[in-house]
Structure 1
Amino acid sequence: MFVLYFIIGLFATTLGAIAGLGGGVIIKPLLDFFGHYDLSTIGILSAATVFSMATVSLIKMRKMDVTIDKMNSALIAGGSILGGFIGKAVFNYFVMSLGISKGIGIFQSILLAILLLLIFIYFKYKHVIRRYTVTNRAVILSIGILLGLLSSFLGIGGGPLNVAILSLLFSMDAKNAACNSIFIIFFSQLSALVLAGVTTEIGNYDLSMLPYMIIGGIVGGLIGTHFVHKITNKQVEKIFNIAILAILFINIYNIFAY
């Protein structure tokens, strides 16, 4: 089974590093599909894998000709951390306090499917959709809080939401949106891991597959960032759209499987 989880980590984070998806949006539905772990364990496996990918990707990006808008991305990241705490608190309340894990799993899959469909439609028709350049810091922070809340509650790391928002509200091209998304994901997943370590007893989770997924995440980050340097914006966007469609269909299957 460790080979399967290594491949999941590798595949998800390679695509995540190329297209700014992060990987959690792929890992979460796939682990739901296989059904080996509960939602809380999946959240930790996903966050640790994506964080390892984001770390090596950011190190490699320092030598690339991409622009990270550190001010705006840092504001979004800060908001994402705050929103992440709120989203995780809401998730824990429903799953641990009320014990409706199955109901939350169904709701997560439905909400994620709707968001992915909207993102796919946006990128398909973005040439006729007006894009903006938001500069108000309070608005940017608020955007980060909303992104963090949704991403944490859904357990996806925020990748596709980040990319769509960076494109729509900050007029970034596909490659720069992907790289800035990785920057945001690094901080959001770090906070998710810290929060999990502080608020839960890690020993209660079955994390036997975690080392293999982290190794997959590191390798995926190296491979994905290598390819980002060599491909065009159009190719990045195409990979993003194909990945979104694939994840959408997995989520639709998971809704019926639940």
Structure 2
Amino acid sequence: MGVSLLYALVIVVANSFGAVSGMGGGVLIKPMLDTIGADSVAAISFYATVAVFTMSVVTTGKQLQHGVKLSFNMLLWIASGAVIGGVIGKALLSWSLSMWSEHMVLAAQIILTILTILFAFLNTRFNWRSFGLNGWYWQLGCGLVLGFFASFLGIGGGPINVALLMLLFGMPIKLATVYSLATIFCSQGAKLIAIIIAGDNLQFDLQRLWFIIPAAIVGGFVGAKLSQVLSSEKVTIVFQLMLLVVILINGYNGVQLLMHW
């Protein structure tokens, strides 16, 4: 009960900020649950996926309700790539856990997360010039990259989403956050289906979902509301602050991992 309540608190806060920034809350949920250390890497990845998927449903629905316009074709290609990339990432994570120790897999996740964070921070901090790409193949490729990292790292969305959408297609940050969350909805939905079909979810403590899902819904509503009232400049600040927090958390987890190797 105590651990589940702590998970719920983490998810409400993480999903609120994750919805505003377009990262999805997993980028905070995953390392913070790792820090708590109450469950395995696979279980934490599953809980983060459920939380982020739930939040993406709520937030994307609220954004569309408030009149945000999306290109269906573009979203379809990005989401299709994200679904494929998500399945590949899930398969690679499962294979990695079967081949190596949890310590080694967690170390790889921490390193890759920090590298994607640095890319995202530098992109938004220095306003790198957009490539202005167009075409379904670029959108599909972008989705593949986003889905793979989101699934393999177990963070649901991640810092790379918004930054890559802005860099490749020249989207303003607030529009990029909506596309990011819609993409997260598709990729994490596909990941959950794959987990359930394989029966992997039966090895986890499903009682925790009674706390995780309501917390994710609350976080989604709070994040959607904040996204409506904050300016693009403030959304950028929230995005960058989240990146710094995630770097600190992953750095701490990396030090703890080395100390207990």
Q: Which residue of 1 aligns with 2:211?
A: 212
Percent sequence identity over aligned pairs? 33
Distance 1:113 1:196 in 2: 26
Aligned mates of 1:29, 1:68 — CA distance in 2: 31
What's 2:99 paired with? 98
Q: Distance in 2 between matches of 1:62 and 1:136?
A: 24
1:108-137 Cα distance to aligned partner (Å, 9 max, x none) = 1011111101211111101xx211222121
**Counterpart residue type for residue 25 of structure 2:** G
Superposed CA deviations along residues 10-47 of structure 1, whole A, max 9, x for unmatched, are: 01110111110111111111011111111110111011
Q: What pairs up with 1:122-137 in 2 under 5 angstroms?
A: 122-126=123-127, 129-137=128-136
CA drift of 1:68 comes to 2.2
Q: Which runs of 4+ in 1 moved over 6 A?
A: none
| Matched position secondary structure for 2:206 | coil
**Residue 118 of structure 1 aligns with which residue?**
119
Q: How many residues align?
A: 255
Cα displacement string for residues 43-86 of structure 1 (whole angstroms, at most 9, x for unaligned residues):
11011111111111122112224332332222111101101111
Cα distance in structure 2, aligned partners of 1:150 and 1:201: 20
- Alpha-carbon contact 1:20-1:181 (below 8 Å) kept: yes
Equivalent residue number for residue 253 of structure 2: 254
Q: Distance in 2 between matches of 1:201 and 1:145?
A: 23
Q: What is the TM-score normalised by the length of structure 2?
A: 0.94
Once the two structures are superposed, the pairs formed by residues 30-41 of structure 1 within 5 Å of their partners are: 30-41=32-43
CA–CA distance in 2 between the matches of 1:201 and 1:235?
A: 40
Specify the code of the residue in structure 2 equivalent to 1:185.
I
Aligned to 2:47: 45
1:99 Cα deviation from its structure 2 partner: 4.2
Q: 1:239 — aligned with what?
A: 238
One-letter identity of the residue aligned with 2:112: L
Q: 3-state DSSP class of the match of 1:208?
A: helix
1:66 corresponds to 2:84: no
2:63 counterpart letter in structure 1: M
The one of the two structures with greater contact order (alpha-carbon pairs below 8 A, sep at least 6) is 1
* Distance in structure 2 (CA, Å) of the matches to 1:119 and 1:5: 26
1:181 aligned partner? 180
CA-to-aligned-CA distance 1:175-213 (integer Å, 9 cap, x gap) = 111111111111111011001111233221123322211
Matched with 1:144 is 143
Cα distance in 2, alignment partners of residues 51 and 12 from structure 1: 13
Q: CA deviation at 1:145?
A: 1.1
Tell me the TM-score normalized by structure 1. Answer: 0.95
Structure 1 segments unaligned to the other structure (5+ residues): none
What is the Cα-based RMSD across aligned positions, in Å? 1.3
Which segments of 5 or more consecutive residues in structure 2 lack a partner in the other structure? Answer: none
Report what 2:57 is aligned to: 55
